[in-house]
């Protein structure tokens, strides 16, 4: 028996400028899928506050460019918050988290 995961659910849309000091984003619910795009400076995404404070165990999010034409990271993520930090300047971030069902 296999279970097919379908993206969907209620989206939580987030558009902000994230500077080099960073910040937390709390979703209104637990998510099961995340799509994030960075439009200016690169950004780092952390899944725990301890990793954010230590600046380790992050996902590096590059800026959309010719070598990264879609300029987005997406995948299954079960979380209710993430921490973001701009690298080298203020990153313009667009993020959509989809509500986990069940």
Mean pLDDT of 16-34: 95
| pLDDT tens profile 53-96 | 999 999 999 887 766 666 788 899 999 999 999 999 999 999 99
Give the predicted TM-score (pTM) of the model: 0.86
DSSP state of 19: -
Residue 68: how many CB atoms within 10 A of its CB? 13
For the CA atoms of the chain, what is the radius of gyration?
Answer: 14
Which of 5, 34, 31 is CA-nearest to residue 99?
A: 31
For the chain, what percentages of helix, strand and coil (3-state, to nearest 5) are there? Answer: 5, 55, 35
Residues paired with 14 in a beta bridge: 95
Question: Cα-Cα-Cα-Cα dihedral of 100, 9, 43, 21, to 10°?
Answer: -70
């Amino acid at each position: 028996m296999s279970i097919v995961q379908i993206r969907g659910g209620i989206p939580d849309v987030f558009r902000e400028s994230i500077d080099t000091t960073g910040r937390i984003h709390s979703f209104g619910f637990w998510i099961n899928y995340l799509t994030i795009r960075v439009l200016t400076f690169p950004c780092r995404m952390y899944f725990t506050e301890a990793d954010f404070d230590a600046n380790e165990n992050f996902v590096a999010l590059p800026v959309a460019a010719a070598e990264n034409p879609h300029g987005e990271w997406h995948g299954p993520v079960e979380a209710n918050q993430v921490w973001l930090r701009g690298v080298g300047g203020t990153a313009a971030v667009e993020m959509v988290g989809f509500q986990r069902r069940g």
